[in-house]
Chain A
Amino acid sequence: MARFWLNSQQVVRFTPTLPLSTGGEWRKRLVLPFLSLFLALVFTFPALAQAPKIDPRTDPNRPTDYSYIVGRYDIKVSAEPTDVEVERHIVVRVEIFGEGPKTDEPRGKDLRLFPEAWDKGESPDFYPPVLLEESVDRPKKTWTFLYRLTPKHVGVESIHGIRLVYYDPSVPDDNKFLREPVDQIKITVKPRPDAPPPITIDIDAVPNSFRSTLPVMLTRPAAPFELTWVYWLIALIMPPISCVIAADVYCRMAPDAMRDAALYRMEAAERAIAKLRAGECVWHVVCAYLHERFGFSVVDPAPSEIHAFLKRAGFSLEACAEARSLFHTCDAIRFTHGKSPESIKLADDAVRLIQTLEADACAQR
């Protein structure tokens, strides 16, 4: 244990430093707090007087074994018989005396007399108790409940754990939920006698359908069918793959208009190169290619227009420059009536341009 030692110099002395000089200041300083306290009491008193009444049925602090009874009650329990065989029934008679508001009188469905484990069937000693009968004698202010209790084994020696938990609003204590325990009841559980003699069937009572036989085919069972993972894999994978292949084949065999147009666009390069190789006019062929492949729709375009179009479409600057150069050359040939010395290698340049444009990532989109 740690000890702290203080010498006299370390002791802090508390000295009141209230201004005691003048009595008038004292009064002024005390009036305000007392006045505030007085007003607070005046205003909160009605609220305290009308404090919300606690409903024991919904009170979050109510015990789990609360039997939903309000008032002053007492309980008396007896059992008959107390000498039974295993799994034979004992009738437990519960009498509750007392009085309280009529709305919160004892009711069989609300009572929580037995331990929770018994009601849930989790008791090792007893099967869940069953309410057989309930009655009330109002002049005597007595409620009677009969329960059937069944011991599970010969080791059960008593009925214990029964209690009545009720709510008494007249109790001055904060906790108004009162617990009324019940003394244990001694019982004796004996083993059951031997099983009765075996039951025999009266042949006359057997339906006639038992007296007929079916023709029996002497067949030995085939090897049982084992559903291995291979079957599952085949069954899961084959149908979608087959459908995808069939859909692809169908689309190839019977293409629709959109696919036709796409194919036509895709084949524009091949057609253009074939025409160039055949010696057709380079300018016309390349213009037609740009129109079919990329939708270039300017009639009689200038090289700068082609350059701008390709640049806008996202082609590389080299490709754009190559196209402008080609069309410059084409214009030169067109306007000099084909006598330009560059006309010889123009078709090759056009083929190279088309291949460049096709290879560009922009054309792949």
Chain B
Amino acid sequence: MRTAIAIGVGLVLLGPAYGQTQQSDDDVLAAAESAFRQGVENKPRLLVARKHFSVAVDAYRELHRRGYRSAALYRNLGNAGVLADRWPEAIWAFHVGLRLDPNDSVMQEHLAFARGKVLYPLAGQGRPEADAWPAWLRRPPLLGVFCMLVAVYVLACVAVTASFLWRTTALLVLTGLTGLTLGALSIAWWHVSSLAEIDRQTPLVVLIENADFYRGNGASYPRHPILAQLPRGLEVRQLHRRGSWLQVRLTTGETGWVHRDQALVVLP
């Protein structure tokens, strides 16, 4: 009898919580889209709109937490983040989205817009580095470059063999062209793979709030002599992680520690 009562009480207590965790992924997505729509509809009412956009941000982040990855998800999350005045999260979302779809020009523009809100130090520390990749050139994914490299390599082998067999001018020209293409693709491969390696070894970190910049992994350490506090939205590189602290490096070379809760890591 006592056992039955205990089970009954347990069910009553755990029931709502169980029901909450059972909210399906589709429901979360629907809630996010609904909140975003309501935010747009309430444009004249600034605070109400922000609240809806903020709900959308939370819902999209919940989908991210559940392991869903798509460029559209992060673009929506970033848009909602900007409109909810949570633009540091928007910077993070656009970065993750651009990892999935590096050629999304809209997302690139939105990232630039959100970056414009960062209050960089007067001496310019931590400003993002200029992108070396030409804007007009599509960014191929790593696997795509590898496939192209292999295809051109095969073509070059065939061209060399054919030139050896028949020795015609056209074939020699084709061999030269494939060799040049192979060289260009090798450079592209080197560039893309070195960027991927940098991202793997020192992942990008976006500060979601103004973060105290310490010399060590703890608040008892002195603050950085030049930059006592880092502005929200600043993009830095993670060097090490120790407990709840991240050792980060700014683009201009300054190194220090920030608390993990104040940062979002752009995982490759």
Of the 9-residue stretches B10-18, B132-140, B160-168, B235-243, which lies at the interface with chain A?
B160-168
The reply on B85 being an interface residue by CB < 8 A is yes
The docked-state distance in angstroms from the alpha carbon of A214 to that of B85 is 20
A243 and B72 contacting across the interface, CB-CB below 8 Å = no
Determine the chain A residues whose CB is within 8 A of the CB of B161 once the complex forms: 243-244, 246-247
A209 and B110 contacting across the interface, CB-CB below 8 Å = yes
The reply on B8 being an interface residue by CB < 8 A is no
Determine the chain A residues whose CB is within 8 A of the CB of B110 once the complex forms: 209-210
B64 to chain A, nearest CB (A): 11
Chain A positions 219-264 with a Cβ under 8 Å from a chain B Cβ:
219-221, 225, 227, 231, 235-236, 239-240, 242-244, 246-247, 250-251
- A194-217 contact mask (Cβ, 8 Å, vs B): 1 or 0: 111011110110110111111111
B113 and A203 contacting across the interface, CB-CB below 8 Å = no
The reply on A265 being an interface residue by CB < 8 A is no
A199 and B119 contacting across the interface, CB-CB below 8 Å = yes
Chain B positions 130-168 with a Cβ under 8 Å from a chain A Cβ:
142-143, 146, 149-150, 153-154, 157-158, 160-161, 164-165
Of the 9-residue stretches A54-62, A151-159, A286-294, A320-328, which lies at the interface with chain B?
A151-159
The docked-state distance in angstroms from the alpha carbon of A199 to that of B228 is 19
Partner of A247, one of B76, B82, B164: B164
Partner of A153, one of B160, B210, B226: B226
Whether A216 contacts B70 in the complex (CB less than 8 A), given A211-B40, A235-B153, A243-B161, comes out as: yes
A127 and B123 contacting across the interface, CB-CB below 8 Å = yes
B166 to chain A, nearest CB (A): 10
B115 to chain A, nearest CB (A): 12
Of the 9-residue stretches B25-33, B169-177, B258-266, which lies at the interface with chain A?
B25-33
A241 to chain B, nearest CB (A): 9
Interface centre among B33, B49, B73, B142 (most CB of A within 10 A): B73
B72 and A215 contacting across the interface, CB-CB below 8 Å = yes
How many contacts between A and B, using CB within 8 angstroms? 117
The reply on B61 being an interface residue by CB < 8 A is no
B85 and A201 contacting across the interface, CB-CB below 8 Å = yes
B143 and A87 contacting across the interface, CB-CB below 8 Å = no
Determine the chain A residues whose CB is within 8 A of the CB of B109 once the complex forms: 209
Q: Please, which residue of chain A has its CB at the minimum distance from the CB of B268?
A: A224
B69 and A219 contacting across the interface, CB-CB below 8 Å = yes
- A117-140 contact mask (Cβ, 8 Å, vs B): 1 or 0: 000000000010000000000000
Whether A203 contacts B83 in the complex (CB less than 8 A), given A214-B72, A215-B72, A216-B72, comes out as: yes
Determine the chain A residues whose CB is within 8 A of the CB of B245 once the complex forms: none
Whether A240 contacts B157 in the complex (CB less than 8 A), given A209-B106, A213-B76, A216-B70, comes out as: yes
Determine the chain B residues whose CB is within 8 A of the CB of A338 once the complex forms: none
B160 and A87 contacting across the interface, CB-CB below 8 Å = no
A214 and B75 contacting across the interface, CB-CB below 8 Å = yes
A225 and B143 contacting across the interface, CB-CB below 8 Å = yes
Residues of B near any A CB (own CB < 8 A): 25-26, 29, 33, 36, 40, 43, 46, 49-50, 63, 67-70, 72-73, 75-76, 79, 82-83, 85, 87, 106, 109-110, 113, 117, 119, 121-123, 142-143, 146, 149-150, 153-154, 157-158, 160-161, 164-165, 209-210, 225-226, 228-229, 231-232
**Complex A-B: 19 CB contacts under 8 Å:** A150-B123, A152-B225, A194-B229, A196-B119, A198-B210, A210-B83, A210-B110, A211-B40, A213-B75, A214-B75, A216-B33, A216-B73, A218-B26, A219-B69, A225-B142, A235-B153, A236-B153, A243-B161, A247-B161
Residues of A near any B CB (own CB < 8 A): 86-88, 127, 150, 152-155, 191-192, 194-196, 198-201, 203-204, 206-207, 209-221, 225, 227, 231, 235-236, 239-240, 242-244, 246-247, 250-251
The 4 closest A-B pairs by CB, nearest first: A214-B72, A153-B225, A239-B157, A243-B161
List 13 other contacts, CB 8 Å, given A216-B29, A217-B70, A251-B165: A152-B225, A152-B226, A153-B226, A155-B225, A210-B79, A213-B36, A217-B72, A219-B69, A221-B67, A235-B153, A236-B153, A240-B157, A243-B157
